[in-house]
Amino acid sequence: MAAVAPFAILIGAVIAIGLLFASFSEPLFARLGSFGSRFAVDLEAAGMRIEPQHFVFVLAGVAVGLWVLLLVLMHPALLMSLLLLLACAVVGGVGGRLYLKRRRLQRIGAFSEQLEGALRTLAGGVRVGLGVRQALVLTSEQSREPAKSELMRVVGLSSLGVSILDAFDQLALRMTTTETSVLARVIRVQAQTGGDLATVLEGLAGTIRDRRRLRRRVRAVTAQGRATAWLLGLLPLGVGAFAFSQDDLRGPMIGTPIGQIFLGVALALDALAILVLTRITRIDP
């Protein structure tokens, strides 16, 4: 029974917090709206169908849940509890930002991989006499996600009265790649000066193909360095997990204030080491 008690307390605390959040959800959402607006652009670029204030609400729930779990496991003093609450809030905010950034970069990367084929289809439609908007509709129908939804959004904005040039500019703001920015500029310059748009789009598609080939070569060259960085970064975590499995080390590590401080510092330094090593081995072609 004694072993079940902490888990029962944890479950009860999580349920109580969930009920409390549900009771005050409307005013909380209103107050979190202004704070969540900073996530709006990233959520839109990541393709996540969630309101910014709801996303902040989820992050707050994760931070509180992590804080309760640490309280049950560590039984800290009042001052340490407040410090843990602050640390959990920071971890929740930073973790949410990193997760959102990862989703955004994955979607932008997938769009970049599909952009070459989309440009060739768009160039073919323009070459046979279709307008840019009609060629975009044809291209979006033959594309996969996320290129399909992004191109359809350009078409939808133009249907609502937005200039097709401004719609491409908004696409470049969401899909923050050099190729998308160049595409928006090419469409604008061609609309102002004229010229063979199909040939320009095919040339841009060839440039994108060459850049993708260069990126693959760079990743192959730096693969060993990136693997070494992750190995050196994860090795202290493995040693720490072994020390945590020993009864005579686990108690002082998580049951004393000095052990908790050193554990937190060690985890922070290891995370910093992984970040620095991955930055060193990153090369943008």
pLDDT in tens, 134-159: 888 888 888 888 888 888 888 888 88
* Burial letters 210-246, b for 16+ CB under 10 A, else e: ebbeeeeeeeeeeeeeeeebeeebeeeeeebeeeeee
**CA–CA separation, 83 and 77 (whole Å):** 10
On whether the CB atoms of residues 164 and 92 are closer than 8 A, the answer is no
Of the candidate ranges 21-30, 64-73, 109-118, 257-266, the one whose mean pLDDT is the lowest: 21-30
The DSSP output letter for 144 is P
The DSSP output letter for 143 is P
Is the predicted pLDDT of residue 1 greater than 50, yes or no?
Answer: no
Tell me the whole-structure pTM to 2 decimals: 0.62
**CA–CA separation, 234 and 270 (whole Å):** 8
Domain-wise residue ranges, the chain:
108-208, 222-285
The DSSP output letter for 38 is G
User: pLDDT tier at 165 (50, 70, 90 boundaries)?
Assistant: confident
Contacts of 144 (CB under 8 A, 6+ apart): 114
pLDDT in tens, 201-214: 888 888 888 888 88
CA neighbor of 125 nearest in space, from 135, 133, 116, 117: 135
Contacts of 139 (CB under 8 A, 6+ apart): 118, 121, 122, 125, 151
Q: What is the percentage of the chain residues whose pLDDT exceeds 90?
A: 0
Helix axes 132-141, 147-159, angle to 10 degrees: 150
* CATH number of the domain located at residue range(s) 108-208 in this protein: 1.20.81
